Structure 1
């Protein structure tokens, strides 16, 4: 009886596993195709306006308003950039943005690194409560503190100064949280070995923690640079002269100077503001995923 059952089981084809195996590649291809089409659709939503901005910056004036739309410029012209540069002091705006972004982002990253190192490796009373307060700061909208910051900067006499623009935003709760989570994921054996060799906190941070945390630090630095470069509301409030204002505010003055119907110079000015951050993002994008993934640690 047993022999007969074994022979029947050997002779009967296994239909279910074969059919399941045949269905899986088909389902996988359908899902992969759907995901690809979705990504293409989302990409077009962002790329089409960006391409139109760049092409309008280099098109002749008549082709911007032409119907049907002229997607590819017939000739390349730089007149819009010249008009935008002459209409408002873009040179001064660019220098102001570079100085504010360099100083503000550098100090913001340094404060985030040192505070994250303290939360990750040092012991002090009320450590958890202070860290919870930092997390609470992530939930507070920045516009809530505009009035208090303006009064403080005004009392310090820092209106229309570079320091007045970047000082209120130096404390980065997000950067502190991201770096602290990444520091906790570092191998303890390496840090303990460094401590046994006589490394203090500063030396251990510089020679061991930061080299192993390069993706996270670059991610925080990139976010800080983009925030400082694109900030509009606070520089508009704390400055009231053209010589102290930054590029995003310069775009507003360009629109008021040229008028809302002069899209050539406006698109050229917008390209001047966007392209530096776009190039920086493209150069540093390989660190972003590693930096954000390395912060996915629960302690």
Structure 2
């Protein structure tokens, strides 16, 4: 009994330490975003500002065309997500419920792409976008991510758990395949779809490398590139303004996560990803 209690205690302490490690940078960012520049440089550092400086956020927002950056990030992230749903849902359904020649090979080939870093293939993709004449446009940021091997894998695992009898009953009622996907598969896989959507949205909302490579003007640049320019404010690194800019960058992600957290828990607890 004592051993079990001690194990639970150590487990709880370990979880608290892990939470502290991951929460520390976020809490520090919030604290710094409200400080004066002088307070950011004091040692030992202060966790709570003497006075909350809301002007840091105004200064960060007005330091460039931030509304344009924000809009570009939103269009790119949502545009990628829409195209990914249009490609991964039928692909996952085919891999999960159909038998066809080369199925194992093509699925393995899809999984292999997960091992290829984006930095390795950006040059041929860059040349392809250049040949299409869409460099420095939002299309160059959207089209290379029109599908996702990770999304296909997650959704395939979810589709495979749907009882075959349910699909056979729908086919006996002469339901076409697209209706089976829309009316049966997608509602059942909704938690997984929302989880993937959150992962995809966060990944592309925070993406810095690809917009840096594919864009050369503010007309097509996204919020992470705009945040990086805050290092040049006031002729030096104003950490308080920089952290305020990062708060602007993180806020939409927190809002999306807040509304999607229950679905994420359901995806991993009830549906399960094997």
Bin the TM-score by the shorter chain.
over 0.9
1:272 to 2:248 alignment: yes
C-alpha contact (below 8 Å) 2:69/2:223 kept by paired residues: yes
C-alpha contact (below 8 Å) 2:227/2:245 kept by paired residues: yes
- Residue in structure 2 matching 1:33, options 9, 18, 36: 9
Determine the C-alpha separation between the residues in 2 that align with 1:191 and 1:86.
Answer: 55
Deviation of residue 33 (structure 1)?
Answer: 0.7
C-alpha contact (below 8 Å) 2:230/2:237 kept by paired residues: no
Q: In the alignment, which residue of structure 2 is the partner of 1:5?
A: none
Q: In the alignment, which residue of structure 2 is the partner of 1:42?
A: 18
Q: In the alignment, which residue of structure 2 is the partner of 1:76?
A: 52
Query: Aligned with 1:87: secondary structure?
Result: coil
Q: CA RMSD in A?
A: 1.5
Q: Work out which of the two has the higher radius of gyration on C-alpha atoms and give 1 or 2.
A: 1
Deviation of residue 87 (structure 1)?
Answer: 1.6
C-alpha contact (below 8 Å) 1:108/1:224 kept by paired residues: no
Deviation of residue 258 (structure 1)?
Answer: 4.3
Determine the C-alpha separation between the residues in 1 that align with 2:234 and 2:147.
Answer: 38
Deviation of residue 176 (structure 1)?
Answer: 0.2
Q: In the alignment, which residue of structure 2 is the partner of 1:234?
A: 210
Q: In the alignment, which residue of structure 2 is the partner of 1:100?
A: 76
Q: In the alignment, which residue of structure 1 is the partner of 2:273?
A: 296
1:126 to 2:77 alignment: no
- Residue in structure 1 matching 2:174, options 169, 193, 198: 198
Q: Which runs of 5+ in 2 are unaligned?
A: none
* Greater mean alpha carbon deviation, residues 56-65 or residues 85-94: 56-65
Deviation of residue 259 (structure 1)?
Answer: 5.0
Alignment of 1:167-206 (within 5 A): 167-206=143-182
Determine the C-alpha separation between the residues in 1 that align with 2:17 and 2:261.
Answer: 21
1:154 to 2:142 alignment: no
C-alpha contact (below 8 Å) 2:60/2:242 kept by paired residues: yes
Q: In the alignment, which residue of structure 1 is the partner of 2:40?
A: 64
* Greater mean alpha carbon deviation, residues 25-34 or residues 253-262: 253-262
Deviation of residue 252 (structure 1)?
Answer: 1.4
Q: In the alignment, which residue of structure 2 is the partner of 1:286?
A: 262
Q: Deviations over 1:10-51 (max 9, x none)?
A: xxxxxxxxxxxxxxx211111111111111111111212211
C-alpha contact (below 8 Å) 1:87/1:258 kept by paired residues: no
Determine the C-alpha separation between the residues in 2 that align with 1:259 and 1:40.
Answer: 40
1:53 to 2:29 alignment: yes
Query: Aligned with 1:296: secondary structure?
Result: coil
Q: Deviations over 1:45-73 (max 9, x none)?
A: 12122111111111233322233322112
Determine the C-alpha separation between the residues in 1 that align with 2:260 and 2:229.
Answer: 31
Normalization by structure 2: what TM-score? 0.94
Alignment of 1:79-90 (within 5 A): 79-90=55-66
Q: In the alignment, which residue of structure 2 is the partner of 1:7?
A: none
1:136 to 2:112 alignment: yes
C-alpha contact (below 8 Å) 1:162/1:244 kept by paired residues: yes
Alignment of 1:249-264 (within 5 A): 249-258=225-234, 260-264=236-240
Q: Which runs of 5+ in 1 are unaligned?
A: 1-24
